Amino acid sequence: MKAVGATAGKLKLAISNDDVRSAVTSGAFPGGEAGSAAQKPALSVDGVSVIYKTARGSHTAVDNVSMKMEPGEFVSILGPSGCGKSTLLGVVAGLLPASGGNISVFGEAVSGPRKDIGVVFHQATLLPWLNVLDNILIPVRALRRKDRDYEKRAHELLELVGLTKFAKYFPNELSGGMQQRVGIARALIHDPSLLLMDEPFAALDAMTRERMSLELQDIWRASGKSVLFITHSIPEAVFLSSRVLIMSSSPGRFVKEVTIELPRPRTTDTMSTGEYAALCGGIRKMFDL
Ligand SMILES: Nc1ncnc2c1ncn2[C@@H]1O[C@H](COP(=O)(O)OP(=O)(O)OP(=O)(O)O)[C@@H](O)[C@H]1O
Ligand SMILES: [Mg+2]
């Protein structure tokens, strides 16, 4: 069995038309048990499609996708390369326009970038001329708020991601994993309620990736944020998530949902349990791996 963080490679989907039909006719995937009827969903995606118009013509990247996430949930999306995961994350983040459908975050429609969303991409893209502390404060400055109101929080986040000693270091003095942790701290500085992560550990080696999964779990548990996490790694998705949503190949639609009920906190011992292996194996079979 591959360790958490080992690259699952290109996923080839082996889902029958019946699976697709049952998922589509069910309309939307409901949230987990964490939410109550009175609570507004952290994220609601309702019939969202994205059609790219290029010189080569129109391309439907995301086709009539619906899902819900309750506050505090950790939901992963797994799907073959090119199925539209990043596109969907882009429209949820308000960075790309949807061609149809509705998206709301905590009950408010998304029509552009929002203060209550933090985004982490697979490269930290830190500004090389700013030290770690100043990089973490970038969203504060973008929101035209005062640094001094956030410096204490920046130091708390540095502690959370294990970089207390590195506040004054510059990005080129950090390893890839450390840079990614700065990226996570930067995404959390303005205290967003929803964290969107697009393959945040993709550029890391397998061991660093495994450690980052453990750290992300700690951060999520300590902060109570809702996290939408895109990954190609089935073990990583199972390890971290409350639910895993599986997308079909292009154009992307959600075709399966797997609830992960492994007890928390999950540890490296969790990865050796039969239950964990069975969950990974079950999802792997859906992709014919
Ligand atoms: N800016 C764009 N213009 C035109 N087509 C695009 C654009 N961005 C993505 N696409 C197309 O939309 C589809 C979905 O792309 P997307 O990047 O969302 O896939 P993905 O699931 O994130 O893939 P990967 O797992 O490889 O990151 C692909 O067919 C891609 O070629
Ligand atoms: Mg992508």
Q: Whose CA is nearest to atom 8 of ligand 1?
A: 87
Q: Cα(249) to centroid of ligand 2, in Å? A: 13
Is the minimum distance from the CB of 51 to ligand 1 under 6 angstroms?
Answer: no
Ligand 1 atom with minimal separation from the 83 CA: 21
Radius of gyration from C-alpha coordinates of the chain: 19
93 in a structural domain: yes
Beta strands in the chain (DSSP E): 43-54, 57-69, 74-78, 100-105, 108-109, 117-120, 194-198, 226-230, 243-247, 254-259
Q: Whose CA is nearest to atom 14 of ligand 1?
A: 84
pLDDT given for residue 289 in this prediction:
59
Q: Whose CA is nearest to atom 7 of ligand 1?
A: 52
Is the minimum distance from the CB of 61 to ligand 1 under 6 angstroms?
Answer: yes
84 in a structural domain: yes
Is the minimum distance from the CB of 86 to ligand 1 under 6 angstroms?
Answer: yes
Specify the residue for token string 């609830």: 259
Is-contact 79 13, C-beta < 8 A? yes
- The pairing of strands 243-247 and 254-259 is antiparallel
Determine phi and psi for 164, rounding to 5 degrees: -50, -40
Q: Whose CA is nearest to atom 5 of ligand 1?
A: 52
Give the mutation target among 51, 58, 59 for probing the ligand 1 site: most ligand atoms within 8 A of CB. 59
Is-contact 59 224, C-beta < 8 A? no
Strand order in the sheet with 243-247: 117-120, 194-198, 226-230, 74-78, 243-247, 254-259
Is the minimum distance from the CB of 82 to ligand 1 under 6 angstroms?
Answer: yes
Query: Which ranges of 161-223 does DSSP label H, i.e. alpha helix?
Result: 176-188, 206-223
pLDDT given for residue 38 in this prediction:
56
Q: Whose CA is nearest to atom 6 of ligand 1?
A: 52
Q: Give the C-alpha separation, 210 to 186, whole Å.
A: 21
Is the minimum distance from the CB of 64 to ligand 1 under 6 angstroms?
Answer: no
Q: Cα(224) to centroid of ligand 2, in Å? A: 25
CB atoms within 10 A of CB 264: 12
**N residues, the chain:** 289
Q: For residue 211, what are the domain limits?
A: 17-116+192-286
Whichever domain contains 25, its CATH number is: 3.40.50.300
63 in a structural domain: yes
Q: Cα(99) to centroid of ligand 1, in Å? A: 15
226 in a structural domain: yes
Q: Give the C-alpha separation, 62 to 66, whole Å.
A: 10
Is the minimum distance from the CB of 87 to ligand 1 under 6 angstroms?
Answer: yes
159 in a structural domain: no
Cβ neighbors of 27 (< 8 A, separation 6 or more) are: 66
Is the minimum distance from the CB of 10 to ligand 1 under 6 angstroms?
Answer: no
Q: Whose CA is nearest to atom 24 of ligand 1?
A: 81
**What tens-digit pLDDT sequence spans the chain (289 residues)?**
333 333 333 444 444 433 433 333 332 233 333 334 457 999 999 999 999 999 999 999 999 999 999 999 999 999 999 999 999 999 999 999 999 999 999 999 998 889 999 999 888 889 999 999 999 999 999 888 998 999 999 999 898 888 999 999 999 999 988 999 999 899 989 989 999 999 998 888 888 888 889 989 998 998 889 999 999 999 999 999 999 999 998 888 999 999 999 999 999 999 999 999 999 999 999 987 5
Question: Rounded to the nearest 10 degrees, what angle do helices 151-160 and 176-188 cross at?
Answer: 140
Please name which of 13, 15, 18, 87 lies closest in space to residue 49, comparing C-alpha atoms: 87
Q: Cα(83) to centroid of ligand 2, in Å? A: 8
25 in a structural domain: yes
Please name which of 96, 99, 14 lies closest in space to residue 65, comparing C-alpha atoms: 99
Please name which of 240, 194, 232, 189 lies closest in space to residue 214, comparing C-alpha atoms: 240
240 in a structural domain: yes
Q: Give the C-alpha separation, 169 to 130, whole Å.
A: 9
The tally of domains found in the chain comes to 1
278 in a structural domain: yes
Q: Whose CA is nearest to atom 12 of ligand 1?
A: 61
